[in-house]
Amino acid sequence: MKTLLLVDGSSYLYRAFHALPDLRNRNNEPTGAIHGVLNMLRRLHKDFQADYSACVFDAKGKTFRDALYPDYKAHRPSMPSDLACQIEPLHACIRAMGWPMLIIDGVEADDVIGTLAKQAVDADMRCIISTGDKDIAQLVNPHVTLVNTMTNDVLDEANVLAKFGVPPALMLDYLMLVGDASDNVPGVDKVGPKTAVKLLTQYGSLQNIIVHAHEIKGAIGDNMRKALAWFDTSRQLITIKCDVDLPIKVTDLISQPQDIEQLIRLYEQLDMKASLRELRQQMDERQSELFAAGKISGIELQVGHSPAVHAGIYQAILTEAEWSEWLLRLEAASLVSIDCETTSLNPMQAKLVGISFCIDSPHAVYVPLAHHYAGAPQQLSMDSVLSTLKPWLENAAKPKVGQNLKYDKHVLANHGLELNGIAHDTLLQSYVLESHRPHNMDNLAMRHLDIKTISYDEVTGKGASRIGFDQVAIDIATEYAAEDADITLRLHQVLYPGIQQEERLNYIYREIEMPVLDVLYEIERNGVLLDAQLLQRQSHELGKRLCDLEQQAHLLAGQPFNLNSPKQIQEVLFDRLKLPVIKKTPTGVPSTDEDVLQRLALDYPLPKLLLDYRSLAKLKSTYTDKLPLMIDPNTGRVHTNYAQAVAVTGRLASSEPNLQNIPIRTSEGRRIREAFIAPPGHRIVSADYSQIELRIMAHISQDDGLLKAFAAGEDIHRTTAAEIFGIPLGQVDPEQRRYAKVINFGLIYGMSEFGLAAQLGIERSAARAYMERYFARYPGVERYMQQTREKAKRLGYVETVLGRRLWLPEINSPNGNRQQGAERAAINAPMQGTAADIIKLAMIAVRDWLHNEKLRSKLIMQVHDELVLEVPDDEVALIKDALPQYMGHVLPLDVPLLIEVGSGDNWDQAH
């Protein structure tokens, strides 16, 4: 099927004129609308491979509609002189670019477009219409689609219905009801879009509404009856003519070669330096092709090359004129790749050194702003660049793509800018497609583009000799930074189609990962308040405890030794005390790792004491000592970083500090949570999913016993104990419940009978008997495990309920241990991954609710299956009451999700 591309030039002309800055050439002649329209045309030719194309403009003078209705467009002011003077040079540029251009007297551009679109459909062609005019939606059908390059909207039949509430076939009826204010065509008084949709949905068409007008009650009915005589006229005004007598036919609309010499003359007159540079680059590339083909000589090649062309395809923006031109490009672009170069990896502390952009790969630019080294060229003022960039950065309708844009969003926020319009993130695209592989740009570029990128180390050096990016020479920085923007755009063009092809992956990406990016940014920005003095007191107490344990260890060993030295511990335990060797390291010496110490601790006091010492030492060094040092001096809070693209299962990873690994099984660990406090007048509220993975297991396995137990609200561990021990529910004692809890959680992690025996401290035969009884009572679980193993081996991955793919590279490994490990992961991954999807959906739902209701409560932490909020006292009751509702219904399961909510002055009290 061939394609016709039609451009509503008049629509874009006005929009570009009003949307873009007042750009002027050296003669002070306005050029902004020209920049905007030409950039849009270049983008369209690249985005849509059309067989035929045309740019259509309104003709001067009146049309048949003016004769039909003298007030048609009567309220419109005459064309501004600054726009009128741009028409002739714009038309000249369009012709020189090779675009067929149509201007037909007596009708509007819409009518010419409608006629050509009909010809295309009659000829069994596909027609794409680029416009910002909603009236043209009446032309949409299975062969005709609208695109708006300024908003990135695509209107096919489904999207017209989604946007306006009626299908394209009823758009004319819809417009007649609501009227067209832009053309001064009245509709029915008091009938707006919602009422129009309601009436058309009820009656099916305007004609049917007219037939039943006498039945419509109230003011709307009265106004409808008054408008009946007007409808014949409004239909003629609003209907796009599709039978205009044209001097050409569709197959005549073949693009012509660019008149490069004429374009160069025009671009020079208009001072369009970036366009000139691209044009000259094209000339050089063409000359090189001719030389390679033997069609020109080396001398002709040298003559043909323009010295004005940048040696590479990346450019540093160093002048106001260059920056003004690029601002226009950004405004007109349908998608822009953006990347920030900064002073730090800490997102809350980092400051800008420069910004890179890419619109059309492989051309990209770098805007240096704060390079400080001897001989550095004059750079644009950071304040000036950021102030002029602010409207575009903060415009949600201007789509941006980047690699890990959450970081860039923080960096720009440090300068008082809000990065909106994050449409895509290649880090997250890679994560959704290949969660098990590296997602950094260097890896992605090599894997998907076969490109070896410039590394950060190559630019800044390593170790003690490393310099800050602000010390990097601008020409080197430009190659590195612009490449980042260029490669990011190329990666998006490769990765995103793979996501779009899979409906479930597209849902994970568009409805979970991309919205969660914004939620995580907010949580990180909010931070959490810490009681530093309390932590310091705890650190002091832990220090005393560690000294006591060290003395006890020396007594038990019969000599002093370093409790932090594996070598000295090994000598004491195995050489001096002659304890049994459990396992050896790769070098052949007895191991002293945690697993060994735990097994020895069952029979000997010193290994138990060493475990206690290690546990307390880690608490002290990782939390009580370190957390106060991590308080941001500007906010007085700790700001963790949540990485989305780390865990294969979709779980978030917290770092700097890691808030997800604070031990809660010991009193010392729980005390650390006491230091996470609410400010005066606030409370900490914690909402935690209870036994979420077991509930997901019940849903996925469809085991009747588990489904019934959860539906009845039973204690699942007590119920399981009653089943496997064959006793009434009321006779289950705490120890039997503990056994059942280990079995329940162990099996969803694919635990073997050997692992279960070790966990419970029982013989393997007993553990095997428990597992057999469990599967006899819950056969759906065993069936799920077997089917999951088979599916994983067949596909190489398993899926969550929503379709997130959890890859298992070792599932068919010839190494038995690795394969068994992958099988265990396959069993648990759908549950852990679904739990990750649920908590992310909950974060989105809760954040949206807080925003929509304009509440002052805010999310401050996400830890495993728990959301933590900082809540003003007067909102505590509302928040506690609403959280189970918002968190409990984000994903319908066949068992209820239970959310436990608590509150307190600190995190420990709340949870």
pLDDT score at 583: 87
pLDDT score at 19: 75
pLDDT score at 290: 63
HSE, CB side, 13 Å, CA atoms: give it for residue 517. Answer: 30
| Pick from 18, 43, 8, 13: nearest CA to 329 | 43
Angle of helix 605-619 relative to helix 594-601, nearest 10 degrees, comes to 130
Residue 791 lies in a domain: yes
β-sheet bridge partners, residue 258? none
Q: Which residue has the higher pLDDT, 308 or 147?
A: 147
Domain C-terminal end among 501, 527, 547: 501
Please check the confidence at residue 395 and state whether its pLDDT lies above 90. yes
How many angstroms separate the CA atoms of 249 and 282, rounded? Answer: 31
Q: How confident is the model at residue 291 (pLDDT cuts 50, 70, 90)?
A: low
pLDDT tens-digit readout, 782-794: 999 999 999 999 8
User: In this structure, what DSSP letter does residue 213 have?
Assistant: G
CATH number for the domain spanning 467: value is 3.30.420.10
| Pick from 408, 403, 504: nearest CA to 448 | 403
CATH number for the domain spanning 157: value is 3.40.50.1010
CB 336 within 8 A of CB 467: no
pLDDT score at 30: 86
- According to DSSP H, which parts of 318-404 are helical? 320-332, 382-393
Query: What's at 242, amino acid-wise?
Result: C
Domain C-terminal end among 798, 815, 832: 832
Residue 687 lies in a domain: no
How many angstroms separate the CA atoms of 428 and 407, rounded? Answer: 13
Cα dihedral across residues 870, 873, 877, 878: positive or negative: negative
Residue 579 lies in a domain: no
Residue 731 lies in a domain: yes
pLDDT tens-digit readout, 529-551: 999 999 999 999 999 999 999 99
Angle of helix 32-47 relative to helix 81-96, nearest 10 degrees, comes to 30
How many angstroms separate the CA atoms of 710 and 700, rounded? Answer: 13
Per-residue tokens: 754: 């050997």
pLDDT score at 52: 94
| Pick from 284, 325, 274: nearest CA to 305 | 284
How many angstroms separate the CA atoms of 332 and 367, rounded? Answer: 19
pLDDT score at 292: 64
Rounded to an integer, the average pLDDT of 629-641 is: 94
CB 619 within 8 A of CB 672: yes
Domain C-terminal end among 832, 855, 870: 832
How many angstroms separate the CA atoms of 734 and 718, rounded? Answer: 9
pLDDT score at 810: 84
Q: How confident is the model at residue 12 (pLDDT cuts 50, 70, 90)?
A: confident
3-state secondary structure of 635: coil
How many angstroms separate the CA atoms of 907 and 670, rounded? Answer: 9
Residues whose CB falls within 8 Å of the CB of residue 551, separated by 6 or more in sequence, listed in order? none
How many angstroms separate the CA atoms of 166 and 238, rounded? Answer: 16
- Pair (305, 323) in one structural domain: no
pLDDT tens-digit readout, 59-98: 988 899 998 999 898 888 888 888 999 999 999 999 999 9
- Pair (328, 474) in one structural domain: yes
- According to DSSP H, which parts of 761-815 are helical? 764-777, 779-795
Please check the confidence at residue 301 and state whether its pLDDT lies above 60. no
pLDDT score at 293: 67
The total of other beta-carbon atoms located within 10 Å of residue 563's CB is 19
Q: Is 816 exposed, middle or buried (0-12, 13-18, 19+ CB in 10 A)?
A: exposed
How many angstroms separate the CA atoms of 292 and 873, rounded? Answer: 75
Per-residue tokens: 503: 């409906």
CB 654 within 8 A of CB 660: yes
pLDDT score at 65: 92
- The CA radius of gyration of the chain, in Å to the nearest whole number, is 34
pLDDT score at 176: 94
pLDDT tens-digit readout, 466-509: 999 999 999 999 999 999 999 999 999 999 999 999 999 999 99
Rounded to an integer, the average pLDDT of 739-764 is: 84
Q: How confident is the model at residue 288 (pLDDT cuts 50, 70, 90)?
A: low
Residues whose CB falls within 8 Å of the CB of residue 653, separated by 6 or more in sequence, listed in order? 642, 643, 646, 647, 660
Q: Which stretch of 1-5, 57-61, 108-112, 308-312 has the lowest confidence by average pLDDT?
A: 308-312
- Pair (885, 740) in one structural domain: no
β-sheet bridge partners, residue 159? none
Task: Give me the percent of the chain exceeding a pLDDT of 70.
Answer: 96
- Pair (355, 411) in one structural domain: yes
Q: How confident is the model at residue 300 (pLDDT cuts 50, 70, 90)?
A: very low
Domain containing residue 338: 317-501
- Pair (861, 720) in one structural domain: no
How many angstroms separate the CA atoms of 141 and 149, rounded? Answer: 20
How many angstroms separate the CA atoms of 722 and 740, rounded? Answer: 9
Q: Is 328 exposed, middle or buried (0-12, 13-18, 19+ CB in 10 A)?
A: buried
pLDDT score at 464: 86
| Pick from 284, 394, 288: nearest CA to 331 | 394
How many angstroms separate the CA atoms of 112 and 789, rounded? Answer: 61
> Is the bond into 657 cis (omega within 30 degrees of 0)?
yes
β-sheet bridge partners, residue 806? 798
pLDDT score at 287: 65
Q: How confident is the model at residue 302 (pLDDT cuts 50, 70, 90)?
A: very low
CB 186 within 8 A of CB 234: yes
The pTM (predicted TM-score) of the whole model is: 0.66
- Pair (812, 784) in one structural domain: yes
- Pair (303, 233) in one structural domain: no
pLDDT score at 403: 97
How many angstroms separate the CA atoms of 53 and 254, rounded? Answer: 6
> Is the bond into 605 cis (omega within 30 degrees of 0)?
no
Q: Which stretch of 310-319, 340-349, 564-573, 667-676 has the lowest confidence by average pLDDT?
A: 310-319
Kindly report the average pLDDT of the chain as a whole number. Answer: 90
Per-residue tokens: 869: 């909020």
The total of other beta-carbon atoms located within 10 Å of residue 595's CB is 11
Highest mean pLDDT among 21-25, 280-284, 297-301, 701-705: 701-705
pLDDT tens-digit readout, 320-350: 999 999 999 999 999 999 999 999 999 999 9
- Pair (427, 473) in one structural domain: yes
pLDDT score at 296: 53
255 backbone φψ class: left, alpha, beta (φ>0; ψ -120 to 50): beta
CATH number for the domain spanning 855: value is 3.30.70.370
| Pick from 97, 99, 173: nearest CA to 130 | 99
Please check the confidence at residue 308 and state whether its pLDDT lies above 50. no
Residue 732 lies in a domain: yes
Please check the confidence at residue 158 and state whether its pLDDT lies above 60. yes
Q: How confident is the model at residue 514 (pLDDT cuts 50, 70, 90)?
A: very high
> Is the bond into 362 cis (omega within 30 degrees of 0)?
yes
| Pick from 741, 736, 737, 744: nearest CA to 701 | 744
To which residue do tokens 């490990």 refer? 821
CB 92 within 8 A of CB 109: no
To which residue do tokens 């600190």 refer? 906
Per-residue tokens: 2: 């061939």
pLDDT score at 289: 67
Please check the confidence at residue 298 and state whether its pLDDT lies above 70. no
How many angstroms separate the CA atoms of 801 and 152, rounded? Answer: 31
3-state secondary structure of 544: helix
Residue 471 lies in a domain: yes
- Pair (810, 840) in one structural domain: no
Residue 577 lies in a domain: no
Per-residue tokens: 875: 């909102």
- Pair (248, 331) in one structural domain: no
Can you spell out the DSSP letters for 114-158? HHHHHHHHHTT-EEEEE---GGGGGG-BTTEEEEETTTTEEE-HH
Number of domains in the chain: 5
Residue 550 lies in a domain: no
Rounded to an integer, the average pLDDT of 763-791 is: 90
- Pair (823, 844) in one structural domain: no
- According to DSSP H, which parts of 239-272 are helical? 260-270
| Pick from 799, 809, 432: nearest CA to 644 | 432
Q: Is 598 exposed, middle or buried (0-12, 13-18, 19+ CB in 10 A)?
A: middle
- Pair (63, 199) in one structural domain: yes
